Amino acid sequence: MITLKEGNLRIPRWNRKVFAVAGGLTNYKKFCPEMKLEEQVMVAFRQMLENNDLKLSPVEIKGLVNFLACGEFADHFQDQLLCEAKVTDYLGLDPIYDIGIKTGGATGGSTVLTAAMAVASGYADVALAVGWERMSEVDTRTGNYYIANAACKDFETRLSRIYAAYYAPMAVRFAWAYNLSEETRAKVAVKNHLYAYYSPYSQQPGKYTIQDVLNSPMSTYPLRFLECCAMTDGAACMLLCDEETAYKLTDKPCELFIAGGSHTLRVADRRDMEIPLLPHETADMYKGLRKKEGQRWPGFESFAASRFAAYFAYRMAGITNPLEELDLVELHDAFTISDIQTYGDIGLRPYGQEPDYIESGDAYFDGKCPSNLSGGLIGTMHAVGATGIFQGIECLWQIQGKYDKFHGDPKIWESFGKRKPEDWKSLQVPNAKQALWVSHAGVGSHVTVGILKKAF
């Protein structure tokens, strides 16, 4: 679809308001033999029910749930069809209906979108968005091959069998088109590994220097291992409800808006098209964008799916200038380059000026609109089906002022067999009111943009 018509651009609208009230995570790690998949989901579910200051008992809350959206990326990994039924049973929610959601790396975001639609439509008053992935069922190279099945199997998969190799051409092209240095890419990795250092949930925390990142082994040139997320075992749960139930359950509900966009799996097939403009943008801004030979939008530089999702989500939530109005963002930094590409898609910078979001300091904890204080995918986790839920929960806790409660409590660290660092520091954004998260699949095949707004 090259020319978008009125119907294609209709802004999604909830029939009634939707709220997020609670979330739960697990200890994210590469290999979790001590627990089965459904046992890990239970850890997240218990944290959601027991530790979010909810005003009803866990059993009473379970009595309100009447829909589950279940996110799982790949049956290849779980090697078990209908995991949804096992999980719903294990959580003691039978016979409530659960629908399995599958949109690659965006599965978590799509799961929240599905649960939100259930509440918005009136199908459910209380819906559970739950996601998981058990990537340790296979060795890393086999896992890479499984994930590469999310490239076109006829024309792309055999050409590398690892996903970094589908992002690397984007990194090369982006650097050429928009003047992105390796150091700027490395700064994203340094930042997100560091923020993961303050999180008890994180899998790849670390205090690295730019040089450490640039010296780390090459995955696919130009992307190095410290610029890539890892394989993770883990789960996440988020509780959504209608307005009346939200205030019955918590003093700190957040209103939720979320929308999605899709684009052809093969980047190669992304023909030049007109850029859908965000509320703060004008067509004039992009007159000179295609100045170099062979330039197209979105091409290899940008993601039309992310732009489309942001186009809708901002209008649903009434956001007119994202950088000014958002207090923090959680982006899908599966690779440093995918993180940087997204800055333009969601309007944190105009297209072509993405690196400045990092270089200006805006993206840091003390900056104008910090990104990935959770540690993101590079630092904390990418248990694919859970990722887009985890990101939303980190946004929710920030707005609720609970970063310290969920990251600074030594008991949480100890329950995961970890020790809270002596030099732990709080990454609580003071007085956060609005947060955004991006859940992203493939090389931009499916993307959701979610926005949470303080409603207390």
Partner 1 sequence: MASKGKITKYTGKPAKVLQSEPAIVIEWPRSLAHRHTYGKLSPFFKGLTEGRLLATRCANPECGEHRLWLPPRADCPDCNQPMTWEELPQPVIGTVHTYARVEYAGAGIELTTPYFQVDVELPGVCTIFKGYLQYGTLEIGMKVKACFRTEDPTNTILDIYWIPVVNDADARF
Binding site for partner 1 (CB under 8 A): 1-3, 33-35, 79, 137, 139, 141-142, 144-145, 147-148, 152-156, 158-162, 164-165, 168-173, 176, 217-222, 266-269, 271, 293-294, 300
Cβ 233 to partner 1 shortest distance, Å: 12
Q: Is 26 exposed, middle or buried (0-12, 13-18, 19+ CB in 10 A)?
A: buried
- How far is it, in rounded angstroms, from Cα 131 to Cα 145? 22
Closest contact distance (angstroms) between CB of 301 and partner 1 is 9
Closer residue to partner 1, CB minimum distance, 23 or 222: 222
Cis peptide before 12 (omega within 30 of 0): no
Six-digit token pair at 4? 């978008």
Closer by beta carbon to partner 1, 165 or else 310: 165
Question: 38: which 2 tokens?
Answer: 């459904």
How far apart, in whole angstroms, are the C-alpha atoms of residue 208 and residue 189?
Answer: 8
Q: Which is nearer to partner 1, 160 or 353 (CB)?
A: 160
Nearest-approach distance from CB 145 to partner 1, in angstroms: 4
Residue 86: what are its φ and ψ, rounded to 5°?
-65, -40
Q: Residue 294 or 421: which CB sits closer to partner 1?
A: 294
- Closer CB to partner 1, residue 135 or residue 168? 168
217 class by beta-carbon count within 10 Å (0-12 exposed, 13-18 middle, 19+ buried): exposed
Beta carbon of residue 417, minimum distance to partner 1 (angstroms, whole number): 11
Q: How far is the CB of 3 from partner 1 (least distance, A)?
A: 8
Spatial distance between the Cα atoms of 88 and 99, rounded to a whole number of angstroms: 10
DSSP-derived 3-state class of residue 436? strand
N-terminal to C-terminal alpha carbon distance within the chain: 41
State the DSSP code for 172: H
User: Considering only CA atoms, which of 350, 295, 348 is closest in space to residue 326?
Assistant: 348
Residue type, 281: E
CA distance 376 to 269: 29
Instruction: Output the smallest distance, CB 99 to partner 1, in A.
Output: 27
CB 253 within 8 A of CB 400: no
Q: Rounded to the nearest whole angstrom, what is the least distance from the CB of residue 153 to partner 1 in the complex? A: 7
Q: Which is closer to partner 1, CB of 139 or CB of 244? A: 139
Task: Judge contact between 193 and 204, C-beta under 8 A.
Answer: yes
Smallest gap from residue 267 Cβ to partner 1 (A): 8
Q: What's the rounded Cα separation, in Å, for the pair 378 and 387? A: 12
Name the residue nearer to partner 1 (CB basis): 6 or 293: 293
Q: CB of 208 within 8 A of CB of 226?
A: yes
Q: Which amino acid is it at 222?
A: P
Look up residue 263 and give its two tokens: 């684009």
Give the nearest distance from C-beta 129 to partner 1 in angstroms. 28
β-strand partners of 22:
239
User: Which CB sits closer to partner 1, 22 or 170?
Assistant: 170
Nearer to partner 1, 118 or 165 (CB): 165
Distance of alpha carbon 213 from alpha carbon 221, whole angstroms: 13
Tell me the closest approach of the beta carbon of residue 351 to partner 1, in angstroms: 17
